[in-house]
């Protein structure tokens, strides 16, 4: 199940997942070292600045030494220029590793997702996957690219400046050091609450995204029932939840950020008080006090940003966890190494069973079926008998939980997936068309098909309507072929399957949306195709069954009868019930006579 549905007991976060991303940074080790070194030098330069100011005030200004002013001033200008250039340099070389990490992670995620089997995709909303590929990856990128660097730099800067202050005049230094304590303490407490609430917002946004996805994909159904308001109300509820949690987040951070700002200011006031007194006592020079306050102000940002950076680190860890959840899912269906040089298409189901992991009732059990090369079997069964599951086992869209499926004697699990899926082609009842040209959609399974073969496949599937589209075969079909009718889409899917010239052709009730006339034409053409290929045809109608050499009756998840259509019709009552249209026939003739 997708773990994203607000489970309270999610395991506590660890930096582990984030740490595992390090391999993506490996190609950039040299650059990373340079970046870190540059950052360190940058800190040194930042700290040097107030010290130069101190020198100016206590040296030339105090002594009236005009000649001494110029070199120090120029030094300040030089240091300033260096600081700027260091930043430029660091940020330029940072681009490659940062984006490289994000891009290859995303590529790998996509690749992994394409390898994960149907079972996984059935459980995960694509919106959930999308948020991992975009939002979570950006969060990781931002942290590894900037956040982490700033976190370490800021801590270093705080340490260095505090040490400097202690060294300069320890009583004031101690005061500054003491002021860091409440900040760190609050930051840590804030962080815990902040993570909790951020995670809540993230989850709620995920729910919102799911609603958005459904509202977009199910738009026809929504419109057909005029349920705009109903869907809107659902969305509104979820959006309000996001609003509520976001407001909690706003309140929390408002409190925290203003606290972070008041502490350094109070400390500054105390430093001025005690520092001025110390100057009065002669314990501190005026220049040193100015430098002290300048340095102190340089602490404000690094300290104030600690909470934010820590929260960013936590968010990155959460994102890394969410990402790894997917990346760690082992593809249950991995290809073997076997290949078949000259596939004949001898298909056997040997005691096959299938059960969903979270269900105790098997969908299929003890299925035995043999389809010889060139033979075609019709699979007939009531709605929900397991016909589609049976057909999905052949191209390994799912794997059996017991028994095995073989092609030419090879267990399909031993075969290389590419080989297997070029031997087997399926036309689904609900065809998936992609937003690309008709041609590309048809050549999905065989990119090297010739124009003649393409034309042939279109003829077989009676899909000649494609020539009438505005740009013919180059017309782009809208996503999922929304503007085509169901029958048209089915015919395209059929043409696609036929065009792959498979040894084993699986037709999963592919003709259901066709009108009788077209269906008859398609069936006629299919007869030729099926003569050369091994076929499995899921059928609801007698006319489709007649495409097959024999019929297998699937009942309650297992094959109970195999035989000729006429035999079964005569001998098996369930079969008669399923296929004989006697009842209709009676009604029809009644109607005709009326």
Partner 1 sequence: MTTTAPEKSTSWRGVASEDQDELPTGVSVRLRARSRRLLGDLLRPYRKKIALLVLIIVISNAAGLSIPFLVSVGIDEGIPPITAGTGASILVTVVGVILAAAVVQAVARQAFLRLMGAIGQNILLELRRRVFDHFQRLSLSFHENYTSGRVISRLTSDIEAIAELVQSGFDALVKALLTLFGTAVLLLVLDVHLGLVALVPLPLLLLFTKWFQRQSAIVYRRTRETVALVIVHFVESMIGIRAVQAFRRESRNQEIFAQLNDDYRGANARSMYLGATFMTGVKLIGNMTIGGVLLYGGWLALQGEVQIGVLAAFLLYLRQFYEPMQEISQFYNTLQSAGAALEKLSGVLEEEPSVPEPREPVALPKGRARGKVRFDGVEFAYVKEMPILPRLDLTIPAGQSVALVGATGAGKTTLAKLISRFYDPTEGRVLLDGVDLRTLDELTLRTSVVMVTQENFLFSGTVADNIRFGKPEATDRQVREAAKAIGAHEFISGLPDGYETEVGKRGGRMSAGQRQLVAFARAFLADPAVLILDEATSSLDVPSERLVQRALRTILAERTALIIAHRLSTVEIADRVLVMERGKVVEDGPPAQLIAASGRFAGLHRAWLESLSS
Site for partner 1 in 107-146 (CB under 8 A): 107, 110-111, 113-115, 117-118, 121-127, 129-131, 133-135
103 near partner 1, rule: CB under 8 A: yes
Judged by CB under 8 A, how many residues of this single chain contact partner 1?
197
Site for partner 1 in 243-302 (CB under 8 A): 243, 246-247, 250-251, 253-255, 257-259, 261-262, 265-266, 268-270, 272-273, 276-277, 279-280, 286-287, 289-290, 293-294, 297-298, 301
Query: What is the distance of C-alpha 582 from the center of its chain?
Result: 51
User: Out of 21, 98, 306, 316, which residue is the one contacting partner 1 (CB under 8 A)?
Assistant: 98
Binding pattern for the stretch 371-410 against partner 1, x by CB under 8 A and - elsewhere:
----------xxxx--xx------x-x-------------
Q: For partner 1, give the closer residue by CB, 43 or 372.
A: 43
92 near partner 1, rule: CB under 8 A: yes
- Sequence-distant (6+) residues with CB within 8 A of 94 are 31, 35, 145
Q: For partner 1, give the closer residue by CB, 125 or 406.
A: 125
- Calculate the alpha carbon distances from 274 to 136, 159, 162 in Å: 48, 22, 17
Q: Are strands 402-407 and 376-381 parallel, antiparallel or unpaired?
A: unpaired
Closest approach of partner 1 to the CB of residue 387, in Å: 7
Nearest residue to 146 via CA among 101, 185, 108, 103: 101
60 near partner 1, rule: CB under 8 A: yes
- What is the phi-psi region of residue 351: left when phi exceeds 0, alpha when psi lies from -120 to 50, beta otherwise? left
Closest approach of partner 1 to the CB of residue 285, in Å: 11
CB of 302 closer than 8 Å to CB of 157: yes
Q: For partner 1, give the closer residue by CB, 90 or 410.
A: 90
570 near partner 1, rule: CB under 8 A: no
> Number of C-alpha atoms within 13 angstroms, CB side, residue 18?
20
Q: For partner 1, give the closer residue by CB, 351 or 464.
A: 464
Nearest residue to 286 via CA among 53, 64, 57: 57
User: Out of 41, 47, 87, 327, which residue is the one contacting partner 1 (CB under 8 A)?
Assistant: 87
Distance, in Å, from the CA atom of 451 to the CA atom of 456, rounded to the nearest integer, reads 8
Closest approach of partner 1 to the CB of residue 255, in Å: 6
Q: Which residues pair with 415 in a beta bridge?
A: 338
Distance, in Å, from the CA atom of 121 to the CA atom of 401, rounded to the nearest integer, reads 18
Q: For partner 1, give the closer residue by CB, 120 or 368.
A: 120
418 near partner 1, rule: CB under 8 A: yes
CB of 428 closer than 8 Å to CB of 493: yes
- Sequence-distant (6+) residues with CB within 8 A of 99 are 141
Nearest residue to 437 via CA among 508, 490, 496, 487: 496
* Tokens 């079972």 found at: 119
Q: Round the CA-based radius of gyration of the chain to a whole number and report it.
A: 36
Closest approach of partner 1 to the CB of residue 16, in Å: 26
Site for partner 1 in 452-471 (CB under 8 A): 465, 469-471
Site for partner 1 in 475-504 (CB under 8 A): 475-480, 482-483, 485-488, 496, 500
22 near partner 1, rule: CB under 8 A: no
Site for partner 1 in 500-559 (CB under 8 A): 500, 509, 512-520, 540-543, 546
Closest approach of partner 1 to the CB of residue 517, in Å: 6
191 near partner 1, rule: CB under 8 A: no
User: Out of 84, 188, 455, 570, which residue is the one contacting partner 1 (CB under 8 A)?
Assistant: 84
Q: For partner 1, give the closer residue by CB, 12 or 226.
A: 226
User: Out of 30, 33, 88, 163, which residue is the one contacting partner 1 (CB under 8 A)?
Assistant: 88
Site for partner 1 in 302-341 (CB under 8 A): none
Distance, in Å, from the CA atom of 156 to the CA atom of 43, rounded to the nearest integer, reads 8
> Number of C-alpha atoms within 13 angstroms, CB side, residue 411?
13
474 near partner 1, rule: CB under 8 A: yes
| Dihedral sign, Cα of residue 40, residue 42, residue 48, residue 50 | negative
Longest dimension (CA), the chain: 124
Closest approach of partner 1 to the CB of residue 501, in Å: 13
DSSP result, 298-312:
HHHHHHHHHHHHHHH
Cβ neighbours, 10 Å, residue 192: 12
User: Out of 232, 329, 332, 366, which residue is the one contacting partner 1 (CB under 8 A)?
Assistant: 232
């Amino acid at each position: 199940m997708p773990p994203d549905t607000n489970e309270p007991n999610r395991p506590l976060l660890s930096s582990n997942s984030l740490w595992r991303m390090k391999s993506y940074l490996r190609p950039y080790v040299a650059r990373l070292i340079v970046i870190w070194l540059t950052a360190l030098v940058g800190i040194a330069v930042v700290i040097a600045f107030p010290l130069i100011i101190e020198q100016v005030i206590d040296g030339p200004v105090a002594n009236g030494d005009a000649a001494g002013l110029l070199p120090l001033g120029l030094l300040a200008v030089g240091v300033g220029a260096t600081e700027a250039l260091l930043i430029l340099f660091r940020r330029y070389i940072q681009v490659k590793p940062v984006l490289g990490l994000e891009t290859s992670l995303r590529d790998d995620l996509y690749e992994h997702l394409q390898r994960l089997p149907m079972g996984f995709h059935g459980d995960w909303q694509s919106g959930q996957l999308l948020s991992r590929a975009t939002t979570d990856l950006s969060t990781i990128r931002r942290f590894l690219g900037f956040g982490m660097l700033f976190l370490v730099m800021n801590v270093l800067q705080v340490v260095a400046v505090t040490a400097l202050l202690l060294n300069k005049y320890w009583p004031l230094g101690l005061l500054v050091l003491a002021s860091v304590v409440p900040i760190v303490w609050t930051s840590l407490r804030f962080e815990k609450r902040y993570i909790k609430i951020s995670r809540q917002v993230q989850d709620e946004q995920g729910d919102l995204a799911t609603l958005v996805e459904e509202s977009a994909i199910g738009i026809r159904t929504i419109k057909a029932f005029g349920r705009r308001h109903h869907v809107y109300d659902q969305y509104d509820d979820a959006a309000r939840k996001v609003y509520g949690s976001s407001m909690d987040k706003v309140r929390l951070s408002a409190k925290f950020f203003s606290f972070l700002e008041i502490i350094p200011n109070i400390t500054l006031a105390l430093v001025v008080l005690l520092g001025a007194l110390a100057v009065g006592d002669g314990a501190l020079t005026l220049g040193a006090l100015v430098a002290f306050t300048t340095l102190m102000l340089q602490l404000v940002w690094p300290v104030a940003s600690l909470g934010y950076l820590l929260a960013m680190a936590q968010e990155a860890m959460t994102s890394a966890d969410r990402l790894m959840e997917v990346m760690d899912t082992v593809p249950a269906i991995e290809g073997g190494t076997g290949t078949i040089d000259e596939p004949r298409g001898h298909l056997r189901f040997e005691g096959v069973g299938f059960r969903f992991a979270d269900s105790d009732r098997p969908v299929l059990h003890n299925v035995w079926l043999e389809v010889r090369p060139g033979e075609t079997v019709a699979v007939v069964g009531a709605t929900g008998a397991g016909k589609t599951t049976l057909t999905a086992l052949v191209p390994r869209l799912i794997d059996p939980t017991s028994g095995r499926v073989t092609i030419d004697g090879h267990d399909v699990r031993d075969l290389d997936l590419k080989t297997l899926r070029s031997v087997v082609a399926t036309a689904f009842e609900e065809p998936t068309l992609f937003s690309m040209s008709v041609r590309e959609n048809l050549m999905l399974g065989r990119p090297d098909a010739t124009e003649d073969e393409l034309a042939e496949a279109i003829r077989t599937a009676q899909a000649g309507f494609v020539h009438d589209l505005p740009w013919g075969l180059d017309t782009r079909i809208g996503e999922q072929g929304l503007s085509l009718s169901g029958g048209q889409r089915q015919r395209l899917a059929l043409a696609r399957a036929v065009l792959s010239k498979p040894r084993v052709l699986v037709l999963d009730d592919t003709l259901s949306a066709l009108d009788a006339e077209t269906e008859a034409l398609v069936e006629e053409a299919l007869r030729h195709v099926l003569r050369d290929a091994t076929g499995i045809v899921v059928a609801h109608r007698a006319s489709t069954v007649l495409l097959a050499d024999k019929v297998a009756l699937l009942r309650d998840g297992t094959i109970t009868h195999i035989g000729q259509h006429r035999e079964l019709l005569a001998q098996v009552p369930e079969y008669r019930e399923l296929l004989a249209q006697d009842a209709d026939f009676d009604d029809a003739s009644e109607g005709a006579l009326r």
